């Protein structure tokens, strides 16, 4: 066996890992530094073979900074091929519909591979000055976002905003006519209320129809999720006094829509807001199982309240 062949065999020994391992290469690192890092992290026993292979295959020494995922079965040459390709590990963050901006902010800023930066809050404040409502509430699209390590938190926020802006504009162009919304933003507010009112996809357009009917008749929306949004430090129990408390979000007190959305709505909720079911219904009440009973008259609604709410 020639010396070169032996060193190649050494370079092709599998890494000492039995599960995926994240390797971070910093800007300015060269191949010798990476070899030392591999040895210090006990990924390889001996780096001589790899040093020689990097001389034989100099293209592997053109490494790119980033965080890479090493998997069992890979060898040292595979590692350098990976970090020379620049194919960094893609992380995923799922931002769920129905949650508030404060919940999303917590997720985004506490992800271990997202870079927050000292200017994050300043950037958010400046950004919101130029959008309707001057708040990010409702303006970010629920989805799974993929990114590489070190991506800025503000960058992910802008991705989600742009996706929502694009979706809202598209759906606004294809809306039912003669809806009681003056702007796409008002439709976004309604979509957020619909999102919080039901977990049943098949009920969204029906609930939208009820709310549209109430707006047209200048009736108050009288929806609990808006009241809850206006309560600071809500403890999970809505009380009669809360329904009487005057806040900009108490739709038992105010007429029309709330000043801003109350959560991040899904595409389906936006579609429901802009494509309500044609109905004569004006009321609905929770059955306690996630679904609702719908009524056309107050008399029928009161019976349903006694049946589904008061008995509990």
Alpha carbon 261 to chain centroid distance? 16
What per-residue confidence (pLDDT) applies to 235?
77
Give the pLDDT confidence score for residue 67 in this predicted structure: 97
Least Cα distance to 203 among 288, 257, 260, 268 occurs for 268
pTM: 0.89
Rounded CA separation 156/160 (Å): 6
Q: What are phi and psi of 142, to 5 degrees?
A: -65, 125
Which residue in 263, 188, 251, 242 sits closest to 215, CA to CA? 251
Cβ(34)–Cβ(82) below 8 Å: no
Cα gap 32→51, rounded to integer Å: 8
Q: What DSSP designation does 66 have?
A: E
Look at strands 151-152 and 114-115 and give their pairing: parallel
- pLDDT tens across 199-230, in order? 888 999 999 999 999 999 999 999 999 999 99
Say if CB 20 and CB 71 are below 8 A apart. yes
159-201 per-position pLDDT tens digit:
999 999 999 999 999 999 999 999 999 999 999 999 999 888 8
> From CA 196, how far away is CA 98, in angstroms rounded?
6
Residue 3 is predicted with a pLDDT of: 65
* Diameter over CA atoms, the chain: 95
pLDDT for 38 equals 94
pLDDT of residue 46: 85
Q: From first to last of its 312 residues, what are the pLDDT tens digits of the chain?
A: 456 777 778 878 888 899 999 999 999 999 999 999 999 999 998 888 899 889 989 999 999 999 999 999 999 999 999 999 999 999 999 999 999 999 999 999 999 999 999 999 999 999 999 999 999 999 999 999 999 999 999 999 999 999 999 999 999 999 999 999 999 999 999 999 999 998 888 999 999 999 999 999 999 999 999 999 998 878 777 788 878 888 999 999 999 999 999 999 999 999 999 999 999 999 998 888 888 999 999 999 999 888 887 665
Integer CA distances (angstroms), 236 to 66, 122, 190, 239, in order: 44, 32, 23, 10
Q: CA-to-CA distance for 226 and 216, rounded, in angstroms? A: 19
Residue 101 and residue 161 in contact, taking contact as beta carbons nearer than 8 Å? no
How high is the pLDDT of residue 2?
59
User: Burial, 270: exposed, middle or buried (Cβ in 10 Å; 0-12, 13-18, 19+)?
Assistant: buried
* Residue found under tokens 């995923």: 92
SS3 category, 282: coil
Q: Identify which of 236, 223, 225, 168 has the alpha carbon closest to the alpha carbon of residue 196.
A: 225
For 146-163, the three-class secondary structure string (H helix, E strand, C coil) is EECCCEEHHHHHHHHHHH
* Residue 111 main-chain phi, psi, to 5 deg: -70, 130
Phi, psi of 92 (to 5 degrees): -130, 140
What is the structure's pLDDT at 97?
96
């Amino acid at each position: 066996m020639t010396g070169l062949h032996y060193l190649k065999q050494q370079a092709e020994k599998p890494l000492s890992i039995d599960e995926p391992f994240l390797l971070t290469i910093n800007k300015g690192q060269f191949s010798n530094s990476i070899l030392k890092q591999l040895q210090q992290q006990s990924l390889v026993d001996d780096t001589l073979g790899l040093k020689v292979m990097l001389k034989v295959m100099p293209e592997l020494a053109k490494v790119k900074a980033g965080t890479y995922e090493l998997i069992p079965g890979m060898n040292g040459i595979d590692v350098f091929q990976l970090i020379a390709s620049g194919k960094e590990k893609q992380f995923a963050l799922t931002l769920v519909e129905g949650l508030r901006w404060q919940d999303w902010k917590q997720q985004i800023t506490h992800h271990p591979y997202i870079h927050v930066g000292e200017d994050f809050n300043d950037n958010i404040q400046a950004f919101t000055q130029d959008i309707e409502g001057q708040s990010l509430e409702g303006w970010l699209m629920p989805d799974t976002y993929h990114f590489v390590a070190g991506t800025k938190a503000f960058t992910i926020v802008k991705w989600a905003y742009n996706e929502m802006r694009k979706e809202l504009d598209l759906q606004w162009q294809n809306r039912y006519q003669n809806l009681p919304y003056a702007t796409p933003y008002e439709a976004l507010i309604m979509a957020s209320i619909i999102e919080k009112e039901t977990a049943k996809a098949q009920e969204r357009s029906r609930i939208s129809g009820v709310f549209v009917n109430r707006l047209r008749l200048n009736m108050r929306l009288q929806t609990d999720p808006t009241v809850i949004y206006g309560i600071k430090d809500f403890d999970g129990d809505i009380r009669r006094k809360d329904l009487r408390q005057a806040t900009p979000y108490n739709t038992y007190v105010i007429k029309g829509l709330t000043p801003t959305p109350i959560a991040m709505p899904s595409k389906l909720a936006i579609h429901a807001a802009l494509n309500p079911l044609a109905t004569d219904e004006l009321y609905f009440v929770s059955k306690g199982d996630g679904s609702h009973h719908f009524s056309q008259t107050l008399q029928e609604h009161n019976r349903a309240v006694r049946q589904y709410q008061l008995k509990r």
